[in-house]
Amino acid sequence: MSIAANVKAILAGLPPGVELVAAAKTRTPAEILEAVEAGVKVIGQNYVQEAAEAFAVVGRRARWHLIGHLQKNKAKRAVEIFDIIETIDSIGLGREIDKRAAAAGRTVEVLIEINSGREPQKTGVMPDEAEALVRTLAALPRLRVLGLMTMGPFEGDPEDSRPYFRETRRVRDALAKAAVPGVEMRHLSMGMSHSWRVAVEEGATIVRIGTAIFGPRPSRP
Ligand SMILES: *Cc1c(COP(=O)(O)O)cnc(C)c1O
């Protein structure tokens, strides 16, 4: 199927209120434009440099979410491109973005990345540390916390992803109950090509889909 046909099929299958982010790592600007023209409203990028190249072509015809880990030395460029940074997992990173956002005269919307599998080698804040992080970030004037994001397994049986999504939702519900001033728990970004249906069942409001839109990724040299 073509990119356009894939986009239309996925959009038709998403319940109302669930937003599609086209996960576009390794895709060319032409492929991304095809997806946008077929109805994609949000592009997800993992790397700031790759996003900058696509952004130069697509610009504000779409909104941009950073869905990969951000290095502090890329925060300035990230603030110029991205509408939402989905992967905040430390106070240091939050402070850096707040500083860059102030310099750019804007406010940046962010999601907190949750390490829902509690795997020490992975990115994301541990579930038990999420509330403390959110309370600290809430005090930063140029940051707006709008919810949570999690990764979960990249492949395999979609049911194996369910505990990761359920855990992230549990953290979301606890944070909503904590009602930290200035913080909204509007978004739950979880689910990929193989797992988005399970993620939606577990309350996702954003799904990040790459392969099912663009086809298998070319292997990196
Ligand atoms: C690549 C990627 C996705 C999409 O994965 P697919 O299996 O291609 O749908 C979603 N989220 C993140 C953070 C990614 O890096």
pLDDT tens readout for residues 125-161: 999 999 999 999 999 999 999 999 999 999 999 999 9
How many H helices and E strands in the chain?
9, 8
- The mean pLDDT value for 46-63 works out to 98
Pocket test for ligand 1, best of 32, 154, 155, 195 (most atoms within 8 A of CB): 154
Distance (angstroms) between ligand 1 centre and the Cα of 1 equals: 19
Atom 6 in ligand 1: which residue has the minimum CA distance?
A: 210
Atom 7 in ligand 1: which residue has the minimum CA distance?
A: 193
Domain ranges of the chain: 3-214
Q: Which atom of ligand 1 is nearest to the CA of 86?
A: 13
Instruction: Give pLDDT, residue 1.
Output: 83
User: How many angstroms separate the Cα of 46 from the Cα of each of 23, 68, 139, 171, 203?
Assistant: 8, 4, 27, 24, 23
192 CB under 6 A from ligand 1?
yes
- Overall CATH class of domain 3-214: alpha beta
